[in-house]
Amino acid sequence: MNADALQRKLGYRFNNSDLLRLALIHRSFGSEHNERLEFLGDSVVNCVIAQALYKKFPELPEGELSRLRASLVSESSLAAVAKRIDLGAMLSLGEGELKSGGANRSSILADALEAVFGATLTDGGFNAAQQCVLHVFNAPLEAIDPATTGKDAKTQLQELIQGKHLPLPCYSVTAIHGEAHDQRFEVECVIAPLNICCHGSGSSRRRAEQEAARLAYEQAIRP
């Protein structure tokens, strides 16, 4: 992918192409890098997403809006957006980062996307940056659901079960594998009134419970 293709995906064409180039330089590449632009972009994306959510959900209180914003501007969410526009293919990385797969690392992708927003702000002002953020976040903003976004699987399952006026799910560890420094937990999640019994595994009990809860939730919402 070239710079023209990236700008089409961003929905913005730079007047100063050097700013876009700088936004795509990781600090491992050299002394000139994107961290100052990332600083700007972090503020921009938080502001734009906050305003978009404020308009989209006029009934939600501040705490709920904050939860939704945190979900949308999290590292994983930013990285997913960056991957959607193939930003990793345009990054300038040092040899070590290239060999270790830095172009696909969530932290690097998220920081680079913020730097691009910072570059857009510097190049075209706030309105340009706002339109760029809204353009690339269009799908996540359309899909966001206040009922589930930002809630982990156990919380979603608990709220679903409470809504049905049923006893809470029962979690139990069924097995622990491996040495103390490298264990793997097997957990069972049972919802007896719904005849649901799901198993999850993970490197901690909490992760295993979350996996089991996710599978149980998927079963519980099936028609």
Q: Calculate mean pLDDT across residues 137-155.
A: 84
Q: DSSP states of 84-130 as a string?
A: HTTGGGG-B--HHHHHTTGGG-HHHHHHHHHHHHHHHHHHH-HHHHH
**Which among 38, 114, 186, 188 is annotated as catalytic?**
114
**Higher per-residue confidence, 159 vs 45:** 45
pTM: 0.71
> Active site includes 188?
no
Please give the helix or strand (H or E) that residue 185 lies within, else none.
strand 184-191
If we measure between CA atoms, which residue out of 23, 40, 41 comes closest to residue 32? Answer: 23
Whole-number average pLDDT of the chain: 91
**What residue ranges of the chain are covered by domains with CATH 1.10.1520.10?**
3-143
CATH classification number, 3-143, choose in 3.40.640.10, 3.30.450.270, 2.10.109.10, 1.10.1520.10: 1.10.1520.10
CATH classification number, 153-220, choose in 3.40.50.12780, 3.30.160.20, 1.10.730.10, 2.70.70.10: 3.30.160.20
The pLDDT tens digits of the residues spanning 41-68 come to 999 999 999 999 999 999 999 988 988 9
**Contact by Cβ (8 Å): 220, 161:** yes
For 178: left if phi > 0, alpha if psi spans -120 to 50, otherwise beta; the answer is: left
> Active site includes 114?
yes
Residue 100, CA distances (Å) to 22, 43, 52, 96 in order:
22, 29, 36, 6
**Higher per-residue confidence, 3 vs 122:** 122
